[in-house]
Each structure stands twice: as structure tokens, then as C-alpha cells.
Structure 1
Amino acid sequence: MQTTWIVSANAGRARIFSEADPAEPLEEIEDMVSTAARMRTSDINTDEVGRTSAAGSSHNIGGNEAAGFAHNAKAGAPNKAYQPAQTPQEHEAEQFVKDISNYLMEAHREGRFQQLVISASPQFLGALRMYLDPHIKPLIKLEVNKDYTHSNAQQLREQIHEQLQAQRANRLQ
């Protein structure tokens, strides 16, 4: 019989359940928690002055002297108003997605599951899609765009089975 893993995740937590026999209860095999979820925002964000903050220097970005500004503008360097492409929270969520993806890939190599169901908060589901290995994607039999990380195993199973039945009904129409 094929083993199906059910991943229930959001940016702070991922619970992974195994279903080898539909008559048996789901077995929780992993409960991953993002390191950022355990930290305060003040621990993630830093007040330290970065390399680009030397506002009075013509040798660094954002200088108030004409030569420094002109040099930096020509070089395409960011100015004092530079904003990073990601917030620290987005960066931590991306790292967590990569951790989950790596865990799933390793487990697949070990033959621990043959099918996958993913239930995740909308934004996190999009990130998972982006980072999942191409060998894992064909194993996905269902994606649920909802966060069930706080549901117990029985509630999760019921929600997944409802979604599978709805998916089958849509295919028949």
C-alpha cells in the first residue's frame, strides 16, 4: 500500500503526518517549527548600522558630497533610501520553506512516502510550490489552500478527505 504524507504548514510551523492505512489514525512524524517563530521581531530586525549607512562619506553609498553621489549613481548602487527586497520575516519564511523542501526530498529518497498532500496558508503554499524539488511535485495528489496547523490529526484527515471528494466530484463534471 502506498504511504501518503500530509503536510500542514504555515510560515511558523509545519506538521507532517503519515497515512499508510486509511483505517488507522494519522501518525504525526514531524513537527517543524521555524526558528523565526520562536524569536521576537526585535530579535530578527537589527538596529545595527550597516555598511551602506556612511551618509557623510563620499566613499560609500548615500554620501552627501557631490563626487560620492555621482559615483554611486553611475555605479547603479542604492542610495540612502535603499529598501531590501525582502523583510526579515519574509527571509525567515523562505528559509523555513527550504528546510521543509529539503526534508521532503530526503524522505522521498529514503522511500518513506509515495504520495503527498499539502495544506498550507495561501502565501506559504505559493512559496512551497516554488521551492519543492521537481521530483516531489508529481507526487502531490492534493493541495489545500488553508492553514490546518492547529487542527488535530482527526480534524485534518476529515478536511483532507472532504477536499479529495470535492476534487473527484469536479473531475466527473
Structure 2
Amino acid sequence: MSKTIWIVVANRVTARIFAAESPLGAIDEIETLLHLQGRMLDENLVTDKPGRTTDRVGSGRSATDPDTSQHEHEATVFAAQIATTLTKARNDARYGTLVLAAPPAFLGALRKAIDAQTRSLVTLELDKDLAALDARALRARLPERLVRAEA
């Protein structure tokens, strides 16, 4: 298993993957994933009007709201794409430990999308949107030690 630590900073539009060779070391960006649909307005993502229902009494009709917004759907799609990338890299032994940083809602989507084996490699989670930071600024915002000390 690789000793490399991957740091994934993501939001619903961008996922940046950084690598560190030691828990106290510097980090370098190795990959960026983009999902531009996460930035679009709902009306640009959905071409149809909402469905319509007929009232039980009378002749009125009203629009129905979908159970999830299109932005939530796009976040789920992007989280699945990130999870696939992480699974493939794990299978290729490109990292041994994972750190995840994302806004709370997207972090939840990532947790749901990541498989159990990959999830077991996560040693640290931060519920913050750090995706716009460069490597030096990001490293300054992360804990000094990227993984928990082994007992």
C-alpha cells in the first residue's frame, strides 16, 4: 500500500486532488475535476416545466415540485464521479490515506458516494469549502499533521 496521502478539496463545481508524501510535508496538486453543471441555474439545467397535478376537488391544477432540486442532483452526480476517481486510484495503489474537505452538504454527498474500502482510508474530514485555495494556502489551513498518530 502506498504511503502517499491524498487531500481532496471539493465543492459542487470543482474537485482538486493534492498529494503529500508525509503527514507533515508540503502538498502538490496532481489532478482537477470540473463539473460545470453545478454552477448553472436550475432553469438552465431543466428544460421542462414542473409536472402538473389536478386537484381532487374542483377544476384547479397546480405545479408539482420535484423531490430534489437539480443542483442536488448535479452534486450527487459529481460526488459519484469523484468517488469513481478515488476508487480507481485506490485500486492502482496511488494513495494510502485520504483527507476530504468540502462544504457540509457536498461532504455528505461524498460520504454517500464513496465505497466502504475507500471510506476506510479517510483519516480526516473538514466541512469547509477550500477548493479555491492554492497548494500553499491550503496546506496552511490544514492541520499540521495530516493523519492521526498511530497507536
- Tell me the TM-score normalized by structure 1: 0.72
Q: Unaligned stretches of 5+ in structure 1?
A: 54-60, 67-78, 169-173
Query: In proportion to residue count, which structure has more helix?
Result: 1
Q: For residues 98 and 28 of structure 2, what CA distance do their matches in structure 1 show?
A: 14
Q: Which runs of 4+ in 1 moved over 6 A?
A: 63-66
1:125 corresponds to: 107
Q: Unaligned stretches of 5+ in structure 2?
A: none
Q: CA deviation at 1:63?
A: 7.5
2:35 corresponds to: 34
Q: CA deviation at 1:158?
A: 2.2
Deviations 1:4-47 (A, max 9, x none): 0000011111110111246764221111111313534432132x
Q: For residues 26 and 43 of structure 1, what CA distance do their matches in structure 2 show?
A: 37
- Tell me the TM-score normalized by structure 2: 0.81
SS at match of 1:161: coil
**Coordinate RMSD, CA, aligned:** 2.9
Q: Is the 8 A contact 2:5 2:23 kept in 1?
A: no
Deviations 1:129-152 (A, max 9, x none): 111100111101111111111111
2:86 corresponds to: 104
Q: For residues 81 and 130 of structure 1, what CA distance do their matches in structure 2 show?
A: 30
Number of aligned residues:
148
1:88 aligns with 2:70: yes
Q: Is the 8 A contact 1:144 1:163 kept in 2?
A: no
Q: For residues 99 and 31 of structure 1, what CA distance do their matches in structure 2 show?
A: 12
Task: Find the partner of 1:155 among 107, 132, 137.
Answer: 137
Bigger Rg, structure 1 or 2: 1
Deviations 1:72-109 (A, max 9, x none): xxxxxxx8443211111111111011111111011111
1:6 corresponds to: 7
SS at match of 2:142: helix
